[in-house]
Amino acid sequence: MILVTGGAGFIGSNFVLDWLTQSDEPVINLDVLTYAGNLENLTDLSGDPRHLFVHGDIGNFDLVAKLLADHKPHAVINFAAESHVDRSIHGPEDFIQTNIVGTFRLLEAVRAYWSNLEGESKGSFRFLHVSTDEVYGSLGKDDPAFRETNRYEPNSPYSASKAASDHLVRAYHHTYGLPVLTTNCSNNYGPYHFPEKLIPLVIHNALAGKPLPIYGDGQQIRDWLYVKDHCSAIRRVLEAGRVGETYNIGGWNEKPNLEVVHTLCTILDELSPRVDGKPYEEQITYVKDRPGHDRRYAIDASKIERELGWRPAETFDTGIRKTVRWYLDNQAWVSNVTSGTYRQWLDKNYEARA
């Protein structure tokens, strides 16, 4: 059995769904269900005895300790986090609480559990911490892509909180011997991506006839990875990663934001044309930039390929098409997650950029 945290969010739910199609090993899924956590992502698992959902906080030491003692997982995979950069600019406090304090308490509970294990159970136990490429800061146009040896230079409250959590994980290995693995991944996209992030937001706004907001000049570069590829990389690191190591995960798909938005518009023109026959790109609108906006991220994923034989299966062209199709086929999911408090977030984030 494994314990997954944040398994009702975007990447965590994809991970749980994929895990249970590949293996019969049960999953305990601990998630506090913030605005980003959604049990509807896991509907396919309803009634499946291999999936045990627990509503709770990674920062609740007693709860985590009890789950570990009761279920004796051989691995903990930590996805739980506040994950949206713009929200961290509007309100950093939750990021400090969950990403730093929450990870610390989770580590404490895991350390207490692991210290009491013996023999093979102790030797094979793993704590895998899911992190981001944003901890490395921003690259210039001609800089080489991020390697695991790059220094940490986080620029937003979000990336600073993730950097702090990575450091705690590292320290628990060096100080206490906890068998940890850390992965630093680039931008994911795919099914169940909450429409506050660029790709699902653009698909949603396009179909709703709303503006497609481009921050600044739209020339910021991100390195896109289809979420199922991130999941397969995590499984591979869990299976064969060297304890105490970090692994960069990326898609070898660097794209400027404007190009991504144009691609989405073109696919939508083909799969779901506007009723007036005009192209979706007419909805593109330039808005005020994100403060401290990182210019370029790029991942050098050669270590995970060399050591563990992992490469992404999807290209950007295949992954983005699957993604658009998924959103078109799952409009009920989109309308459920975009009701209520989602609207308040849009007012807060976009009104000031007009």
Q: So which residues are the catalytic ones?
A: 133-134, 158
- Residue (80 or 268) nearer to ligand NAD, CB: 80
Q: Are 79 and 14 in contact (CB under 8 A)?
A: no
Could you say whether residue 334 binds ligand NAD (CB under 6 A)?
Answer: no
Region 135-164 residues binding ligand DAU, contact defined as CB under 6 A: none
Could you say whether residue 85 binds ligand DAU (CB under 6 A)?
Answer: yes
Could you say whether residue 59 binds ligand NAD (CB under 6 A)?
Answer: yes
**Least distance between ligand DAU and beta carbon 61 (Å):** 25
List the single partner that 85 binds among ligand NAD, ligand DAU, none, CB under 5 to 8 Å by kind: ligand DAU
Region 277-296 residues binding ligand DAU, contact defined as CB under 6 A: 290
Could you say whether residue 107 binds ligand DAU (CB under 6 A)?
Answer: no
- Contacting residue, 15, 136, 297, 333, with ligand DAU by CB under 6 A: 297
CA proximity to 110, closest of 80, 132, 82, 133: 80
- Contacting residue, 88, 98, 150, 323, with ligand NAD by CB under 6 A: 98
**Least distance between ligand NAD and beta carbon 274 (Å):** 29
Region 311-350 residues binding ligand DAU, contact defined as CB under 6 A: none
If phi > 0 it is left, if psi is from -120 to 50 it is alpha, else beta; for residue 351 that is alpha
Could you say whether residue 57 binds ligand NAD (CB under 6 A)?
Answer: yes
Task: Give residues with Cβ within 8 angstroms of 76, minimum separation 6.
Answer: 2, 3, 4, 5, 68, 106, 110, 126, 127, 128
- Residue (132 or 246) nearer to ligand DAU, CB: 132
Residue at 97: amino acid letter: Q
* Chain centroid to CA 51: 20
Could you say whether residue 98 binds ligand DAU (CB under 6 A)?
Answer: no
d(CA 229, CA 18) in angstroms, rounded, equals 10
Residues lying near ligand DAU in the complex (CB under 6 A): 83-85, 132-134, 186-187, 197-198, 201, 213-215, 220, 222, 257, 290, 297
